[in-house]
Amino acid sequence: MTDNRKILLSGIKPTGRPHIGNYFGAMRQFVNLQKEYQSFIMIADYHALTSLHDPEILRRNILDVMIDYLAIGLDPQKCVIFKQSDIPEHTELTWIFNCITTVSYLMRGHAYRDALAKNKEVDAGTFDYPMLMATDILLYNPDVVPVGADQKQHVEFARDTAEKFNRTYGDTFKIPEALILPDVGVIPGTDGQKMSKSYNNTIGLFAEYDEIEKAVMKIPTDSRSIENPKDKMSALYVLHKLVSPPDIFEKINRAYESGGMGYQDIKQALIQSMEGCIKPFREKRKNIATNERMVLETLKNGGVKARAVAASKMQEVRKKVGVVLY
């Protein structure tokens, strides 16, 4: 049966555990988009090698990301979930792209420029990161690549590379569009800054109840009394808006506008709402994790499906560049 849906490609590096900021910022949208698009979701393990050099941790992280995605609702019957390193065409096409790409062009890359700004020694992988990412995208002929507004450069590199290859060797690659994910705003961490692993202020997407309680209770508050209205820009309010059921949020919103609730009660309500949001994911993840064999088989099968697409495109590329003789 022909799948007439448009094609979507996205990926995630297996470099750490997801938090609720990751979920509301991107992961939830991937689950919703799998109904509308023929989705390829890649675990970008080769990209992780620019920063992670412990093989045991990387292996564990790859497995964890796969379990995470299954737990939040990505369905292997609706989308293809695969591991980048299972598809050798990624590194092959990257070399071909390197041969039509200038050093000065690669120097525009955000990761490279950020490393220079911090006086870090830059490895070749970080410098060439945009070409591997262009390959990741273009091999699968996607119509759209979902990104945040601050990640458009990833798609721009892929578009530029596709256009240059097409000019040089003839029409080969589809020019993808960036699908800008809805802006949920800055999701605050437990210290009021943007939620980020680098700030150590996250609430894990699969956190246990006591971890949720500990995280919420350390969120800073001001000195306003129970009777006083409160700041709607605060982390407590924003997190309530994200996770609380409508009836609970209505009470919280009223308290912030008119007073009548103290911060202790507001935090307790957030703990319960956060637990209500996270518990289904946590329980489903625990259940999936008991069947590691199934998880690995699902990932392997996704790789077979992805490679069939990548191999077909790569054979076309080989013919275009002139290396196919027999």
Domain limits, the chain: 7-186+292-321, 206-285
Provide the 10 A C-beta neighbour count for residue 121: 7
pTM for this model (two decimals): 0.90
Compute the distance between CA of residue 180 and CA of residue 308 in angstroms, rounded to an integer: 28
Taking only the tens of pLDDT, the chain with its 326 residues reads 567 899 999 988 998 899 998 898 888 888 999 999 999 999 999 999 999 999 999 999 999 999 999 999 999 999 999 999 999 999 999 999 999 999 999 999 888 888 888 888 899 999 999 999 999 999 999 999 988 766 788 899 999 999 999 999 999 999 999 988 766 677 899 999 989 888 999 999 999 999 999 999 999 999 999 999 999 999 999 999 999 999 999 999 999 999 999 999 999 999 999 999 999 999 999 999 999 999 999 999 999 999 999 999 999 999 999 999 99
List the beta strands (DSSP E) in 121-180. 144-147, 177-180
Domain 206-285 in this protein, CATH class: mainly alpha
Residue 245 has what DSSP assignment? Answer: -
Compute the distance between CA of residue 137 and CA of residue 131 in angstroms, rounded to an integer: 10
Residue linked to tokens 């390829």: 40
In the CATH scheme, what is the homologous superfamily, with its name and number, of domain 7-186+292-321?
A: HUPs (3.40.50.620)
Compute the distance between CA of residue 313 and CA of residue 35 in angstroms, rounded to an integer: 25
